[in-house]
Structure 1
Amino acid sequence: MTITELKQLYYQNQLIEAIIEPSSAEGGWIVEFRHCQGGFLMLTDTHGAECQYTDLDTASKSALAVGFSEVRIEAK
């Protein structure tokens, strides 16, 4: 889901938390959001491709842009 779509869910109180996790690409990071009904929603670009980040700062900025004030980071 795109940041815009995730923002809508956030403001409808449908998202519980933002999580940054290591990606399958070496040294990369992905951003996921826990949905209130269970499961996770992946941050994607407008074409539906998983967003991959090379550093935690950029990944965190994307997660915070959805509306959360903090982000959980899963260690490798």
Structure 2
Amino acid sequence: MTINELRVLYRSERLVEAIVEQADLDGQWVVEFRDNHGGMLALTDLQGEQRYYSDLDSASKSAMAVGFSQVRIESL
């Protein structure tokens, strides 16, 4: 889901957690969100491909752009 789509879910209180997760040992990061039913939603680009970030700060900023004031970090 795109940032704008995820913002709509956040504002309607359907997202409960933002998670920044290390995708691989090369330092790539992904952003996921847990919804209020326990499902996981990945942050994607406009083509529906999961977005990868080269650093933790950029990934965290994207997670917070959805509306969260804090994110959970998971590393390998």
**TM-score normalised by the chain length of structure 1:** 0.95
Q: CA deviation at 1:75?
A: 1.9
Counterpart of 1:46 in structure 2 is 46
- Give the share of equivalent positions with the same residue, in percent: 57
> Does residue 1:18 correspond to 2:7, yes or no?
no
Q: CA deviation at 1:25?
A: 6.6
Counterpart of 2:9 in structure 1 is 9
Report the RMSD for the aligned CA atoms in angstroms. 1.0
Q: Matched residue of 1:45: which SS?
A: coil
When structure 1 is superposed on structure 2, of 8-17 and 24-33 the one drifting more is 24-33
Q: CA deviation at 1:23?
A: 1.1
Structure 2: state its 5+ residue gaps: none
Structure 1: state its 5+ residue gaps: none
Counterpart of 1:73 in structure 2 is 73
Partner AA of 1:69 in structure 2? S
Find the aligned partners of 1:63 and 1:7 in 2 and give their Cα distance: 10
Q: CA deviation at 1:27?
A: 1.1
**TM-score normalised by the chain length of structure 2:** 0.95
Q: Matched residue of 1:53: which SS?
A: coil
Counterpart of 2:32 in structure 1 is 32
